[in-house]
Every structure is written in structure tokens, then in C-alpha cells.
Amino acid sequence: MNTIILNYIYLVSIILFIVGLKRLGSPDTARKGNLIAASGMGLAILITIVYPMENASNNYTWIILSVIVGAAIGMTVAKKVKMTAMPEMVSLFNGLGGASTMLISIVEFYNYPSGADPLNGQMLTTVFALFIGSISFTGSFIAYGKLQGFLRDSLVLPAPQVVNSIMLLLNIGVGAYLLMQPELDFNLVVILLALSLIYGVTFVTPIGGGDMPVVISLLNSFTGIGAALAGLIYDNEVMIFGGILVGASGTILTVLMCQAMNRSLINVIIGGFSSSGGGTSGSGREEVVKEANHNDTSIMLKYSQKVIIVPGYGLAVAQAQHTCHELEKRLESEGVDVKYAIHPVAGRMPGHMNVLLAEADVPYPKLLELEDANNEFPTTDVVLVVGANDVVNPAAKEDSSSPIYGMPILDVELAKNVVVLKRSMNPGYAGIQNPLFFGDKTKMLFGDAKSSIQKLIEEVGNA
């Protein structure tokens, strides 16, 4: 009877996962979708505690204590984290999820019956779970360090594709040798664990700054796969289906990110990311900067028919999403059509700009995807680039030596005028100069994005 109740509740939890994931597809329903999926997870945890597995030790003290401590830490971090640090938090979550799978695998190896043949489906699953969980664990923390900036240039890996290929072969070899032993050798488990942890480091180390959204998405899919494998180990349907959903959605998102950056999934898997390039534009353009002022820019905006705002990581750093929405409303009150152009990999993680603008209550229909935005630029009077850099860099089309060459970009130069809000002429996260800043149609409005937009709002009202 308990098993029947357990399975029915698990089915309800899985349905809640699916419904929640579906609603996460739109900013308008994402908040409710997140609550629905969280309710499904809470229900699954509760029913598992009430009706535990057979032969479980059922140490409720440790379980309840872990839930309380974890929930307290999670709530504290979630409330205090800044929107600019959201990608770092996602990386940490991925890493902790991978660590959970890794620890589950180690415990299963440790408790494996002495003298039993390890060559079976259960052990194969455990080996794979250890491998995936370890990669997700150390890889996510390397990604965290790169997002924070303190590992950005300090780790240099020579011939990364060769190193990663060797590390992958070593992991496969040790895993296969472990399974072929007449009985489980825990020393081989330790060696496999060490190799997998190292591979997680070497896997993420070669990543160039512009590729960061891809690796975050990929590590997210690894965490989902790890959860599914842990579910197979424990024969837990919710963990299996939940992991499959996360792994599948993360993989699909990874493929979309690769397409947005013109990179193949195979190159991602073997660590073939671009590295940061040099500081020259390589476009042959005359590097003359035309500086704008708030008064001229506000007049140009006020008397435009169509304005498109291109948000980037600088918008997040300046916490200017709400101010940007105020400018949008002010311009619309003057009869100006205002939209936003969103590049798939703008920011530090997939959907970063969508989250920022949704937080500021920007209507979702105003957000244009890359292809739609590029179709509208030729009829746009002014494009306001707020903190974006690499995603509007013409070097992706003009300079074959550029690390981002071939990446689809927002063709803001097709508009009649381009105004770039930026603190300085420093290159973006990919570490390369942007020829757009020296374009004939481009003017630079230097300063903090939030302060600059606030001044533009005032000037538009006074113009």
C-alpha cells in the first residue's frame, strides 16, 4: 500500500515539474512556474521521508537538520545576491548538485558488497555518475572563479584540446578497468575520482569570456544528468524524471547557445572554446571616437519614431534595468516606438537580459530576438547600446582573426544612429576591441549607465 501511495505522489510531483518547466518558458509565467516546480520537489522530498525506501537507515535527525541548514543558506543567499552575481550563483548551484551526485557515487562504491563482481549495470551507472558529478563540481567552481574575475587570466592551459582528450581517455580507461576487476577495488575508485575532478578543471579552464553562457548551460545539463543517474542508483522515479528534464532542457539550451555563437557542440564537449583575443579591432577602421552629450542624445531620442535599446552586462552592473524602463515609458509618452533587442548570449548566462528586464516589468512582447531585431534595425532612428559589447561587435563579421569571428551579432550599425553607453573604451568580457565604437554612425556616451539614463529622462522631459 505504501508503494502505491508513493508512486502516485511521485507521479503528481513529476507532473508539477513538467508544468513548472513549461511555464518557465515565458517571463510572464516564469515566477509561477518556478513555484509550481518547487512545490513538486517539496512534495517529493516530503513523501520520500514519510515513506522511505526499504532497508533505509532513516536517520531523520540528519535529514531534517540538513534540510533546515540548506534551506537557511539558500534563502539567505537568494535574498542577498545581486542580479549581477546571478550567473555566479547558478554556477555554485550547479557545482553543489554535481557534488551531491559525486558523494552518492562514493557512498555506493564504499558500501558495495565485498567479493561481488562490479561488472553490472548498477556499477556502470555509478561509475558514470561519479564521472559526471565530479566534472560538474569542479567545472562549476572554475566557472564561478572566471565569472568573478579572479581566475580569468591566472589559469593558462597549453594545448587544451589535447589535454582534455587525454584526460577523457584516461577517465574512460580507468572506469573500464575498474569494472573489469573480479571484485571492486576502492583504490581505483579514488583514482577515477581524482581524474574526474581534474578533468572538470581542465574542461572549463580554456573557456574564453564570450563563451561563458554556453558552459553554464552545459554544466546545468551535466547536473541534470547526474541527478538522473543518482535516481537510477536509488531506483527513485522522481530523481530520474527530474534529472532527465533538467538534463534535456540544459542540452537543448546548450545547442541553442552554440548556434547563437556559431560553435559546434563537439567543440564545446572537448573544450574547444575561444580564448580572449587581443585588444585591436583588426577591422581596418580609423579609430576615431565621437563623444555624445546628454542634451544632444535626449533630443535625438525624443524626436525619433523608433528606438531600440540593446542591453548588456553593463546594464546589470549598473542596476539600470528599472531606469531603462522609465526611459522607455517617457519616450513612449512622446510618441516614440521603443523596443529591446536581446542577443541569446548577452550577459553571463542564458536569458540574463530577459531576467533583468522582466524584473523591471518590461512587457515581454517588447523583447526582440536576434533575427527579428536585425530586421528592424534598418528602419530604426536610434539604437541605444547599454553596456553591451561583444554581441554588437562587427569584428565577428569583418575580422577572420577575431576569437568571435562567425558569431551572429546584433547588426546595430544598420540603424541611422547608434549611441553606446559605456564607462570607458575598455574591451568587453571577450577581451577584444569593438570597431563599432569608431563607426561613422556611432557616438559614445561615457559614464555610469544608470546615471546617464536618468539624465536622459530629465533631458527628454525638458527638450
Residue 138: pLDDT band with limits 50, 70, 90? very high
Given 80, 103, 120, which residue is the final one in a domain?
80
Instruction: Give me the helices (H) in 235-369, please.
Output: 237-260, 265-269, 294-302, 313-317, 321-333, 352-359
For residue 284, tell me if it sits in a domain: no
251 and 301 both lie in a single domain: no
Contacts of 435 (CB under 8 A, 6+ apart): 281, 282, 283, 285, 393, 394, 395, 398, 399
Give me the domain span that covers residue 1.
1-80
432-461: pLDDT as tens digits: 788 999 988 999 999 999 999 999 999 998
Report the chain's mean pLDDT, rounded to a whole number: 85
Give yes or no: residues 98 and 240 share one domain: yes
Does any domain span residue 280? no
Give pLDDT, residue 145: 85
What pLDDT, on the 0 to 100 scale, is given for residue 160?
80
CA distance 157 to 165: 13
Residue 417 lies in a domain: yes
pLDDT in the model for residue 272: 47
* Each residue's pLDDT tens digit, 219-267: 889 999 999 999 998 888 889 999 999 999 888 888 887 877 776 767 6
Question: Which residue has better confidence, 125 or 390?
Answer: 125
Instruction: Based on the fold, state whether residues 364 and 450 are members of the same structural domain.
Output: yes
Catalytic residues: 390
Which pLDDT value is given to residue 397?
A: 86
**pTM across the whole model:** 0.77
In a domain, 200, yes or no: yes
Residue 196 has pLDDT above 70, yes or no: yes
pLDDT at 404 (0 to 100): 75
Whether residue 237 sits in one domain with residue 89: yes
Higher pLDDT, 153 or 360: 360
| pLDDT at res. 133 | 94
Are 115 and 194 members of one domain? yes
Instruction: Identify residue 340 by its one-letter amino acid code.
Output: Y
Same domain, 384 and 312: yes
Exposure b/e, 413-439, CB count within 10 A at least 16 = b = bbbebbbbbbeeeebbbbbbbbbbbbb
Q: What are the pLDDT digits (tens) for 71-118?
A: 898 888 888 887 777 788 888 889 999 999 999 999 999 988 887 888
> How many domains would you assign to the chain?
3
The answer on 362 and 394 residing in a single domain is yes
Residue 404 lies in a domain: yes
Confidence tier at 48 by pLDDT (50, 70, 90): confident
The reply to whether 102 and 75 lie within a common domain is: no
Structural domain includes residue 287: no
What pLDDT score was predicted for residue 186?
93
In a domain, 233, yes or no: yes
Across 168-202, b (16+ Cβ under 10 Å) vs e yields: bebbeebbeebbeeeebeeebbebbbebbbbbbbb
Average the pLDDT over 307-330 and give the result.
91
Shared domain check, 252 and 107: yes
> Which residue, 228, 246, 275, sits at the end of a domain?
275
Task: Tell which of 242, 275, 308 closes a domain.
Answer: 275
CA distance 379 to 375: 8
Mind listing the pLDDT tens digit for each residue in 143-169? Answer: 888 877 777 655 677 888 888 889 999
Same domain, 95 and 71: no
In terms of domains, do 444 and 308 share one?
yes
Q: What is the mean pLDDT of residues 51-77?
A: 80
In the predicted model, is pLDDT for residue 55 greater than 70?
no
Domain presence at residue 234: yes
pLDDT at 135: 95
Residues 317 and 417 in one domain: yes
